[in-house]
Structure 1
Amino acid sequence: MRPLARLRRTGRRSRPRRFGRLRRFGPLAALGVAFAGQVAGAVGPDAGLLAASTAGGLGVEALLHHRHRRLSRVLSKARANVMVRHLIRDLLLVAGLMNLEPQGPGRHYLPLCYGLLLCYALYFACQGAVAKVRRSRALPVLTRNIDASALRLRPAPPALLARRPGVRLLATGLPATSGLTATALTGDGRWAGAGVALSVLLAGAGLAVLLAWLLPGRRPPGEAEVLAWFDAWLAAYRPTVGMYFSGGTSSAYQADMWLEPLAGLGGRAGLGGRGERPVIVLRERFMLQKLGPTDLPVVCVPKVAHLMRLEHSTLGVLLHPANSGKTSQVLRIPSIKHAFVNHGESDKLSSCNPYAKAYDEVWVAGPAARERYARAEVGVDDRDVVEIGRPQLAPIEAHAGPPAAGRPVTVLYAPTWEGWTDDPGNTSVILAGENLVRALLADPGVRLLYRPHPMTGSVDPRAAAADARIRRMVGGGGTAVAMPARTRRAFPARADGAERMLLQGAPEPGRAAAVAAEEAAREAAYWAGLGPREHRVVTGAGPSLYSCFNRADLLISDVSSVVSDFLASGKPYAVANTGGLSEDEFRAVFPTVRAATVLTPDARGVPALLEAVRDPSKDRLAGVRAELKEQLLGPADPPSPARFAAAVEALGARAAARGARVPGPRGETAVRVPGRDG
């Protein structure tokens, strides 16, 4: 029976894989069949086969653009983009028409060829016009939550013309292709002539519309005007503290965790009895939309030369949640004091990077991080280390005891990613993940939440493969629970950066609070729709990490900032040891493990761990967790938001004092307590 059961299980798993391959390669095979049919119909010649294959090819093109855009991008990289495919399709139609001619190909087909050439010439002209329009609308500074009406920005061109060249080609070329196909079936050349003429008219009209966006009255303001407007906004708003962020598409979470603490500074009294005036400074245009909901003013300054204009502003402090190649560019501004706040702390070497000594100060959560920098000897002076706690941990609820009788133990397995090195101890996903999940699922009194790091598998393919297997194991635990959709400001499909800048003007009062309330309602709806014993894979579209903390009775993770943050709850946690160290060595090397249950890759300790969660008398690490919490996160009084605000104020005062001593960028010596000198 066992071999048969194994065979059945294997069969059930192989079907989705075969279906996945069919979804990936089915359209490609259908496209190849359509072209092969066109060739056979043109050479045959066979008018029916030629027409049917052409229609089939157009259907596959529509499928590629609507359902398989990734495959379409792969074909484009292989120099088989939609323009090449459409050109081949039309040429095969013309070849078929010539072969279908009883007296042999005649000169009356030359106008059709010239018409097709004109269609493609207009297509390339449209491409050039699109590039010109995009360059004219690429403003030197983009903003969010700032009133940009003074710039007289206008909507972008229609998306069909400016953003979807493949669909545009198919739409304008469809009459020509249809006319050629009709001529192949009927032998009447008027169909082809009418189709080609209509395609020429459509392509010409599209080009005319695009050229209209280059007229003086419709062009956006020039670089000088936009920069002058930006300088005027800086002078009027008088920012005092900012967050600088640069990163890839999956790194926005690193900045998101500091949005609330930064926004909280605006309501606190600073020097002179005023609150801070925060601003967010980005470098990548796409990050404007990746950044989470906030009412804070956001500016994106892609070019270094324009970034240097901040030196002339009242900005005195910049906070840095991450290191990046572009960080060194803003560090060149001497009038601004820079503090590295990181996006999480752990015992990994990345939490005491030598790059940290480039900043004026390094802000950490508690004494443990200070000691970590001292041990690492990376050049960070202990006098520049400031303990501020973790102001973003306020939403984490304190431990309320073991789960009630009859209620399952909710376990959150939140491993980190593999990192930039090949150290097997970075992530437990590869060596221990499946064993841990298997052991947890074997206990009927466990509900498992699996929340992998968003960058899992980005470096090591083994991590991606293990993550996929774990998702399949966990995902079979119940029906899918959809997270209610976020209510986002609707942008037209054509909207580009300039148009979004206009639409994302000054926010309505209380919008951030409304968004927070909506997010809380979404998360509550998610958990309410999840059965008490249903397992779930929680991804970026699901509840936040801290929301998962509040639902979990136990955390299993790796050596990462997730462990430090979870300590704020006081709940039990475990750390997987996959680096080959003994348990004593593991605890000695990584202080955050001192209050954790250490699990080996074979997951043998999972049953005893679950028993300690159910029975507090067997939880021998509760006191150690309380001590470690203060060492990692600092004291509870004064609260972390107050310490964070005090650190901002003190560093701002240092910037002001430096400005009073050192001549400014224009030679003046009168500098301000930034934004507070009235």
Structure 2
Amino acid sequence: MNPLKVANTLTSNVVHRINKRKSISAIKASPQVFTHLPAGTDRYQAALYFADPMVNAYQIRQWYEPLRRLSEFAPVVILVRNPETAIALLGESPLPIYYAPTIADIEEMLETQDIRAVFYVNQNIRNFQMMRFNDPAHVFISHGESEKAYMWSNQLKAYDYVFSAGQAARDRLAKNLLRYDAIERTRLIGRPQIDVEYPAPVVLNADYKTVLYAPTWEGDRPSMSYGSVTSHGTSMIKALVESGKYNVIFRPHPRSGINSHAYKAGLESIRVSFILNRKTGAPSYVYDESDSWGWQWACADICVTDISAVAYDWLATGKPIIVTTPKNENAAVSDSPALLKLPALSSQEASNAVALITELVAREDHDFIELVEHYFGETASGASMQRFITESLSVMGKQPSLDTDRVDA
């Protein structure tokens, strides 16, 4: 084994243990913040369960605002198992944090609170420690709609309900999950995130149209190797910068580069390219590592992305989109309506992507209306948020009024 790699691993482990001890000490010093359990009508009625480290916090950030809206009708808490995550989320979440490192801590919360629904954004194996409890409704809400094989994992059978964006997701589950009643076990909520306004952290050159390139990560196995940074991205970005025709927002997946040195090197080459080509009066080049996902929808005119949740978030905007074709032939690709209809980009075509981008930006009618309805249902302002709140309250046994201004227990 490489001695340098061994040394780096040992150093990382030591740093992790030190940070963990510091976090636990901070939590113990503020029990009223991290282990507070309210009484009476303030008792929590719903929880978002998150057992992950902060590297996966992108999965829950997109649910902050929908859950905050839900908390106006039923108190919501984020249940965290990791001490560093508890400390970090306290500084950014609009919802209270409850730190529960042990099953006994979870039992105490359930005994004192009125938890009727538990939401899950991923399929962490520790989810099953929470799902052992029978009383709450266990609801998988995921961290994005996509055509990845992850979206029809057999693990979904373990949840009482799956909150899906639209009919396409229900059809996907019905097709791929054996011995599973997709109609009974799914609730269609649209994409409540599209009903949230997101302030942009950057100012782009208004003289140019903007391309959003938002690839997924490289994956951890061949069937999930949808990431396009090395196969498409570096050559496409080079062509875009050389053309001088477009602002570019590059939004890599937070987990990009963790399994592949080549993928990580591709990220760095794009970063350097942006730095070297920043000039006054020229197109804007933004290497976007912000925590916020959503402001890009309003700022960009076209999106290039992979088979991932980004494609479906963008689809709801009605703006042009290009989906990359995975170079790895072992990547699981379905013959979904979206992938059959949306413009595709192979790795061989990536260096000539500027021509396709220019053509699509100039086109006025992208004929996405039927696709959007199939994947999201009604996307009028506020419709998805309304459905999320209504379905959440329904599985909790609470009846919202027609205007959702109040809810009856």
TM > 0.5 fold call: yes
The Cα of 1:474 is off from its aligned counterpart by 2.6
CA distance in 1, matches of 2:305, 2:23: 46
Which amino acid in 2 is paired with 1:332?
A: R
Higher relative contact order (CA 8 A, sep 6+): 2
Counterpart for residue 17 of structure 2: none
Counterpart for residue 283 of structure 2: 533
Relative to structure 1, the CA distance from residue 262 to residue 421 in structure 2 (aligned partners, 3 Å threshold; closer, same or farther) is same
From 289, 292, 304, the counterpart of 2:103:
304
CA distance in 2, matches of 1:442, 1:332: 56
| Correspondence 1:322 to 2:127 | no
CA distance in 2, matches of 1:282, 1:449: 32
Which amino acid in 2 is paired with 1:259?
A: Y
Higher share of residues assigned strand: 2
Counterpart for residue 600 of structure 1: 346
CA distance in 2, matches of 1:132, 1:644: 38
SS at the partner of 1:556? strand
Compute the TM-score of the two structures, normalised by the length of structure 1. 0.51
Counterpart for residue 364 of structure 1: 164
CA distance in 2, matches of 1:592, 1:140: 51
| Correspondence 1:264 to 2:69 | yes
The Cα of 1:597 is off from its aligned counterpart by 1.6
Counterpart for residue 59 of structure 2: 254
The Cα of 1:304 is off from its aligned counterpart by 1.1
Contact 2:327–2:347 under 8 Å retained in 1: no
Relative to structure 1, the CA distance from residue 385 to residue 307 in structure 2 (aligned partners, 3 Å threshold; closer, same or farther) is same
SS at the partner of 1:290? helix
Counterpart for residue 562 of structure 1: 310
SS at the partner of 2:118? strand
The answer for unaligned runs of 5 or more in structure 2 is 15-19, 199-204, 400-406
Higher share of residues assigned helix: 1
The Cα of 1:565 is off from its aligned counterpart by 0.4
Contact 1:557–1:563 under 8 Å retained in 2: yes
Counterpart for residue 35 of structure 1: none
Q: How does 1:51-90 map to 2 (within 5 A)?
A: 74=8, 77=11
Contact 2:304–2:322 under 8 Å retained in 1: yes
The Cα of 1:142 is off from its aligned counterpart by 5.0
Which amino acid in 2 is paired with 1:386?
A: R
CA distance in 2, matches of 1:78, 1:263: 35
Q: How does 1:101-500 map to 2 (within 5 A)?
A: 139=28, 144=33, 230=36, 233-235=38-40, 237-267=42-72, 275-291=73-89, 293-312=92-111, 313-377=113-177, 379-382=179-182, 383-395=184-196, 407-423=207-223, 425-478=225-278
| Correspondence 1:552 to 2:353 | no
Which amino acid in 1 is paired with 2:342?
A: A
SS at the partner of 1:412? strand
Which amino acid in 2 is paired with 1:559?
A: I
Contact 2:24–2:83 under 8 Å retained in 1: no
From 304, 312, 319, the counterpart of 1:571:
319
The Cα of 1:478 is off from its aligned counterpart by 0.8
The Cα of 1:454 is off from its aligned counterpart by 1.0
Relative to structure 1, the CA distance from residue 139 to residue 381 in structure 2 (aligned partners, 3 Å threshold; closer, same or farther) is farther
Contact 1:435–1:601 under 8 Å retained in 2: no
Counterpart for residue 609 of structure 1: 356
The Cα of 1:315 is off from its aligned counterpart by 1.0
Contact 1:318–1:337 under 8 Å retained in 2: yes
Compute the TM-score of the two structures, normalised by the length of structure 2. 0.82
Contact 2:65–2:196 under 8 Å retained in 1: no
The Cα of 1:311 is off from its aligned counterpart by 3.0
CA distance in 2, matches of 1:134, 1:280: 17
Counterpart for residue 635 of structure 1: 378
Aligned residues: 381
Contact 2:23–2:84 under 8 Å retained in 1: no
The Cα of 1:135 is off from its aligned counterpart by 8.0
Larger radius of gyration: 1
The Cα of 1:589 is off from its aligned counterpart by 2.3
| Correspondence 1:651 to 2:401 | no
Contact 1:357–1:378 under 8 Å retained in 2: no
Relative to structure 1, the CA distance from residue 476 to residue 289 in structure 2 (aligned partners, 3 Å threshold; closer, same or farther) is farther
Which amino acid in 2 is paired with 1:264?
A: R
Which amino acid in 1 is paired with 2:384?
A: S
Contact 2:398–2:408 under 8 Å retained in 1: no
Q: How does 1:83-102 map to 2 (within 5 A)?
A: none
The Cα of 1:352 is off from its aligned counterpart by 1.7
Deviations 1:198-221 (A, max 9, x none): xxxxxxxxxxxxxxxxxxxxxxxx
Relative to structure 1, the CA distance from residue 295 to residue 471 in structure 2 (aligned partners, 3 Å threshold; closer, same or farther) is closer
Aligned-residue identity in percent: 26
The Cα of 1:649 is off from its aligned counterpart by 1.4
Q: How does 1:481-520 map to 2 (within 5 A)?
A: none
Contact 2:302–2:361 under 8 Å retained in 1: no
Relative to structure 1, the CA distance from residue 344 to residue 234 in structure 2 (aligned partners, 3 Å threshold; closer, same or farther) is farther
CA distance in 1, matches of 2:223, 2:136: 37
The Cα of 1:259 is off from its aligned counterpart by 1.0
The Cα of 1:330 is off from its aligned counterpart by 0.9
CA distance in 1, matches of 2:314, 2:173: 22
Deviations 1:122-173 (A, max 9, x none): xxxxxxxxx99998876499564x7xxxxxxxxxxxxxxxxxxxxxxxxxxx
Contact 1:414–1:556 under 8 Å retained in 2: yes
The Cα of 1:576 is off from its aligned counterpart by 1.1
SS at the partner of 2:71? helix
CA distance in 2, matches of 1:135, 1:424: 35
The Cα of 1:605 is off from its aligned counterpart by 4.8
CA distance in 2, matches of 1:459, 1:277: 39
CA distance in 1, matches of 2:70, 2:224: 40
Aligned-residue RMSD, C-alpha: 3.5
